[in-house]
């Protein structure tokens, strides 16, 4: 098998999982020659204090011959990006690489190296606003797990780097190889890049009043029940107009969109865990028809429910 050369770039204060997670994916897949590069060779301390040996320093390693360049993130990135030797090496290595990727706040190093202007990127949700503010030529999307823009890939924080690495393995070796790696690493629900970094209960704001909490609790308790504005208003003890306004203010999303996302997540679990027909799942979770279910999946996830089931159905009980 042809060996793909991968350079992982780290620095003092990097996030260890940004390196270790993708590295494990590539080593399990086989066919990859991975090097760890830092401002200097030798011990590099992760944000958690974990020491990692960098085999190469940027002053002693030619920035050429790498198929894929992956830049880790971590709290130390804000200092590391001001090292011109490091950003210069990254820029030079990126010119000859087939693919360039960042994990989490590694996007700051790519942006500082001038590689992301005019491109769509993602990063950890907590750092997205700062990335957009400090690099206005970069289009920052805070929600997806990972994004591909041409030969440039970027991912959200920590474990999302493994999702990105699996996508790179799939591009190189096919879906079957990527799924085998996911099973071995117990990542049996390998996530598509356009899936949100959060479940609906995490990415939305939390309700601040008891009436809206009651309405939200009713949606989660039975996603397939009637949850139009009138029904939610009755749960909350408010008028429909008042419910609509307060719900949107407190959660940052209108009631109908919130209900749709909860139903989509419930349908995702059903598709992952069982073999029920799409029509049955659509009825159970309030979509009515399989066509409505399909439209909601495309709107929220960018994938058809049948394709989602094919890719992410649980393999519990399979021999590994």
| Residue 41 in this model has a pLDDT that exceeds 70 | yes
Task: Write down the pLDDT at residue 168.
Answer: 94
Tell me if residue 190 falls in helix, strand or coil.
coil
Q: Encode pLDDT of 262-293 as tens digits.
A: 999 889 888 877 788 999 999 999 999 999 99
Q: Encode pLDDT of 200-237 as tens digits.
A: 554 556 788 999 999 999 998 899 999 999 999 999 99
Task: Write down the pLDDT at residue 201.
Answer: 55
Higher-scoring residue by pLDDT: 56, 306: 56
Based on the residue annotation, tell me whether 34 is a catalytic residue of this protein: no
> What's the topology of domain 4-184?
Rossmann fold (3.40.50)
User: DSSP string spanning 102-162?
Assistant: EETTHHHHHHHTT--TT-EE---HHHHHHHHHH-TTSEE-SSBSEEEETTEEEE-STTHHH
Among candidate residues 29, 104, 156, 267, the one labeled active-site is 104
| Residue 21 in this model has a pLDDT that exceeds 90 | yes
Task: Write down the pLDDT at residue 268.
Answer: 86
User: Cα(first)–Cα(last) distance of the chain, in Å?
Assistant: 22
Q: Encode pLDDT of 138-172 as tens digits.
A: 999 887 788 999 999 999 877 889 989 999 998 99
Domain boundaries, the chain: 4-184, 200-312
Architecture of the CATH domain 200-312: Orthogonal Bundle (1.10)
């Amino acid at each position: 098998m042809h060996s793909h050369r991968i350079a992982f770039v780290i620095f003092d204060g990097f996030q260890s999982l940004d390196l270790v997670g993708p590295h494990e994916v590539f080593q399990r897949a086989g066919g990859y020659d991975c090097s760890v590069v830092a401002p200097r060779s030798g011990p590099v301390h992760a944000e958690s204090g974990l020491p990692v040996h960098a085999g190469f320093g940027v002053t002693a390693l030619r920035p050429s011959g790498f198929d894929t360049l992956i830049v880790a993130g971590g709290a130390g990135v804000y200092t590391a990006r001001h090292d011109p030797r490091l950003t210069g090496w990254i820029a030079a290595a990126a010119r000859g690489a087939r693919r360039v990727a960042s994990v989490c706040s590694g996007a700051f190093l790519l942006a500082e190296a001038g590689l992301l202007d005019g491109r769509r990127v993602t990063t950890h949700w907590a750092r997205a606003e700062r990335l957009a503010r400090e690099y206005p030529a970069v289009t920052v999307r805070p929600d997806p797990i990972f994004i591909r823009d041409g030969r440039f890939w970027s991912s959200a924080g920590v474990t999302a780097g493994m999702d990105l690495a699996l996508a790179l393995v799939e591009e190189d070796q096919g879906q079957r190889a990527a799924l085998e790696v996911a099973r071995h690493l117990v990542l049996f629900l390998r996530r598509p890049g356009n899936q949100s970094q959060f479940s609906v209960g995490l990415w939305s704001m939390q309700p601040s009043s008891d009436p809206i909490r009651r309405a939200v609790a009713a949606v989660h308790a039975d996603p397939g029940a009637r949850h139009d504005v009138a029904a939610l208003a009755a749960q909350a003890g408010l008028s429909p107009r008042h419910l609509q306004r307060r719900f949107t203010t407190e959660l940052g999303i209108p009631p109908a969109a919130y209900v749709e996302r909860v139903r989509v997540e419930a349908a995702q679990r059903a598709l992952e865990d069982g073999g029920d027909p799409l029509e049955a799942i659509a009825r159970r979770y309030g979509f009515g028809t399989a066509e409505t279910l399909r439209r909601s999946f495309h709107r929220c996830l960018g994938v058809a429910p049948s394709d989602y089931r094919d890719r992410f159905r649980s393999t519990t009980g399979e021999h590994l």
